[in-house]
Structure 1
Amino acid sequence: MHLFENKSENQLNFCRDDECSGEKDRDTLATINILPDEILLKIIGYFHPIDLIHCLSWVCRRWNNLANDPSLFTELRVLVTEQSLASGAVRRLFDRAAHHLRKLCIDCAVSLPSAAVEDLFTVCMPNVSHLDISSFNGNSSLPLFVRHKCRIVAQARQMLSECRDAAHGGLEAVLTIFYQFSFYGLITSPFKSTLTELYLGWYINNQDFRYIGELHNLKIFSLLLCLHTRDEEFIHLKKLSNLEELYISCGGEDCDLTPDGIIALFDLPYEMPERSFPYKLRSLALTDLHMCHKEVLEVIVRK
């Protein structure tokens, strides 16, 4: 196997030994096996994962080891079945790729609750920034994520609003979870200083706004519903000085916010405004906000 530089097309191509004789006169040939592992890993990183497993890994033992190098698995969609759990394949993959994973989608085809599935969530994945568990159904699966998320990710995107069969109990399950869940643990959680995106698929207890206000590096905050929230609770979002995107459905007639409370949230101080919300805000959606008076809009536009 040889790797040659096609100067006319400015690209790298592969060829077998018996195919390369005609290229020697016009192109520079390099036997690929003399390349160090670091260079080969760079090249292999451009291949599709299916090609890595079904093609490159069959070339030789060295290529098999490189094709299965954990550094290549930064984005994974993992199918969890009874067979893959029983064989331990999923757990071994998580253990190997834990420190390289950045985006993880878990497609769970196992009936929940499951001790084997729960065991997967004990693996520490400190660099994960996107976690998709939208295939998890029912009450039994969602507390699993909430209970273990402190040990899984530094940042977590909760895709609860996309749970399957929402019309048949999925939405009710989300409501149950967040009504019973307290955000007090955020204060001592290991991802408090690194969490940048938080998406909540239903409403939260009003006292939990103070804990969300402690997530000082939060850049995106989305809350599906804000019910009976008062000004003194909503003002805790003022501490989110790095917040760039805010999306909240205010609940219409069930919202207890006042125009003065909204103005206080969006009014920047004269001294060190960069330490307060909404200094970095660039995208805002406050839907179903009935008390949105002219004065409120003027402050939002001005600040």
Structure 2
Amino acid sequence: MTTKSSRTSCSDLSVSMPVSHECLEDKNGVYPISREQLQTKHKWKYSEWYPCCTVACGLNGLFPVYDRWRSPAIAVPEEITPCEEIEFFDQLQNDNEETRNTMKLDDLSDDDILCIFEKIHPIEMLRSVSLVCKRWNRLSRAATLWHEVRLVICNKPAYLFAIQALLQRICRFVEKVCIYVVNCDPVSGIDFINLFPRQMDAVTVLDIGFFHYLTVLLARFLTRCFPNVRKLNMEGLKRAEDGALSMVFAEGFPYLQELILFGCKPLTREDFDALCCSHSLTVLSVDGNSALESYSGLRLGQSSMVSTLTRLYLDGEEMYDEAFSAVTRCKNLELFSVSCCESATDLSLKYIKSLPKLKHLHLLRGTNFTEKGLINFFKRKNDTVSSSAFPTCLKYLSLDGCSGVNDIVIDFLTKSCPTLVSLCLAWCWSVTDIGLINVVQRLSKLEFLDIRGMDCTNGLALLNVPKLYLKNLRYLGAQQCLR
């Protein structure tokens, strides 16, 4: 019906699909993935930012764009065959009277069709719906449909012009923006700034993950253009001009609540200090920033967000017990994740146990946690099971690579945490069939179980799953279980 034009937008849209925290996008087969994501893996979409240890969580991380990327074309109106000129199949011409009297899509009003379009994935809107006819092409460009947008920017004049025209038209309606600049042919800072309207007040979510170079000029522009951002993702930032990050944290985004800085290489202690002085965040991730060491935990204990943080992700490299002690001043923490916590000891477990609202706990490679320390960690104060007391309150637990976990620890864990929904025991080499049987028979609410690398079990404990046990199980990771 039409040929595709090179005079097209290289921007894409996204629709929101809330992904529960226990069902993250798969990365190298190490975490559960929802069936919906498996079916639409090529269709990126916004979701809640629940990072897994050492894993990115934004659009540019979960759905990477390759530098040799080529944009999908969207037809312009003059290239579309008018409906009256389309030749239909003979079968349609021979329809009976009843079929001819049936209402068709073309009989619907514009408002009705727009309601239908809101349910269609934006990629399909660009690649398919806009090609059907001039009317659908016109409606697919309605500004009210564009609440969430992902911009893939490359240094081609036609693309830059198309993005600029698009943003000028939809700027009042866009609420979520993701930006990716193609590195093989980057645009200049001035050309980048000129793409955007002066202000996009409706935007509350900004994802600039894996940005290649943040200058002070760009940092000042972003804070001015998006003044009402509440969720900011800057994970994977490659380079930054001196003072750019400090300026963002100290002067920009006054309404900021959630900040992802996973793997942000230029982040310094001075930048982190500016952040801790300026914002009362509810969600913070500085995982993948090993240069902060213990300073991240120590500084957070004296920060302006000590009473507001509910989800915290830290890099555990060279993070010692005193840093864990400082973190426990954040009494409203519901999720606490620490990667590579080889420097922590049993004393850190004692500190973590004092967090009264903790429901999600991820401790990756806690090689200094002993059997005795883990037993005390999971031992209840008394025999009365209280759903609000630690550790009974835990719903999501990961002890990936914690070598002190064995059958005795599992016995205490399964008795004290009967309502666990997700459990990761990957690479816990001391757990045998005895421990796995306790997991299977006692944790009836489990939906996600990861036992990768457990080489002391032969799997007999799983024979009656899900007939008798773990009837709610949705994911089982058992790769590299050698027996």
TM-score (ref. length: structure 1): 0.66
Change (3 A) 1:60 1:148: same
Describe how 1:164-203 pairs up with structure 2 within 5 A: 170=238, 174=239, 177=241, 180-181=243-244, 183=246, 186-189=249-252, 191-199=253-261, 201-202=264-265, 203=267
Aligned match for 2:233, one of 143, 157, 161: 157
Amino acid at match of 1:300: I
Aligned match for 1:246, one of 294, 312, 316: 312
Aligned match for 1:76, one of 135, 143, 150: 150
Does residue 265 (structure 1) correspond to residue 327 (structure 2)? The answer is yes
Aligned length: 257
Cα distance in 1 between the residues matched to 2:221 and 2:255: 18
Change (3 A) 1:128 1:20: farther
Amino acid at match of 1:219: V
Change (3 A) 1:230 1:220: closer
Change (3 A) 1:300 1:61: same
SS of residue paired to 2:233: coil
* Structure 2: runs of 5+ lacking an equivalent: 1-87, 356-483
Measured after TM superposition, the shift of residue 285 of structure 1 is 0.7
Deviations 1:57-94 (A, max 9, x none): 455543222111123332334342322256x2111112
Given that residues 245 and 282 in structure 1 are in contact (C-alpha distance below 8 angstroms), is that contact kept between their aligned partners in structure 2? Answer: yes
Given that residues 151 and 178 in structure 2 are in contact (C-alpha distance below 8 angstroms), is that contact kept between their aligned partners in structure 1? Answer: yes
Amino acid at match of 2:224: R
Measured after TM superposition, the shift of residue 297 of structure 1 is 1.6
Aligned match for 1:32, one of 101, 105, 120: 105
Cα distance in 2 between the residues matched to 1:264 and 1:52: 50
Change (3 A) 1:282 1:51: closer
Cα distance in 1 between the residues matched to 2:282 and 2:314: 15
Change (3 A) 1:232 1:45: closer
Structure number with higher helix proportion: 1
> Quick check: 281-290 or 63-72, which moved more?
281-290
Measured after TM superposition, the shift of residue 217 of structure 1 is 3.9
Given that residues 184 and 211 in structure 1 are in contact (C-alpha distance below 8 angstroms), is that contact kept between their aligned partners in structure 2? Answer: no
Q: Which residue of 2 aligns with 1:118?
A: 193
RMSD over equivalenced CA pairs, Å? 3.8
Measured after TM superposition, the shift of residue 229 of structure 1 is 2.8
Deviations 1:116-152 (A, max 9, x none): 1232255534325242453x54x5x555543322134
Aligned match for 1:147, one of 217, 220, 227: 220
Does residue 235 (structure 1) correspond to residue 310 (structure 2)? The answer is no
Given that residues 321 and 347 in structure 2 are in contact (C-alpha distance below 8 angstroms), is that contact kept between their aligned partners in structure 1? Answer: no
Amino acid at match of 1:67: S
Cα distance in 1 between the residues matched to 2:297 and 2:131: 63
Given that residues 249 and 275 in structure 2 are in contact (C-alpha distance below 8 angstroms), is that contact kept between their aligned partners in structure 1? Answer: yes
> Quick check: 195-204 or 105-114, which moved more?
105-114
Given that residues 321 and 348 in structure 2 are in contact (C-alpha distance below 8 angstroms), is that contact kept between their aligned partners in structure 1? Answer: no
Q: Which residue of 1 aligns with 2:5?
A: none
Q: Which residue of 2 aligns with 1:204?
A: 268
Measured after TM superposition, the shift of residue 30 of structure 1 is 1.5
Aligned-pair identity in percent equals: 13
Given that residues 217 and 243 in structure 1 are in contact (C-alpha distance below 8 angstroms), is that contact kept between their aligned partners in structure 2? Answer: yes
Q: Which residue of 2 aligns with 1:297?
A: 349
TM-score (ref. length: structure 2): 0.44
Change (3 A) 1:215 1:206: same
Does residue 91 (structure 1) correspond to residue 164 (structure 2)? The answer is yes
Change (3 A) 1:54 1:285: closer
Change (3 A) 1:234 1:91: same
> Quick check: 124-133 or 195-204, which moved more?
124-133
Measured after TM superposition, the shift of residue 52 of structure 1 is 3.5
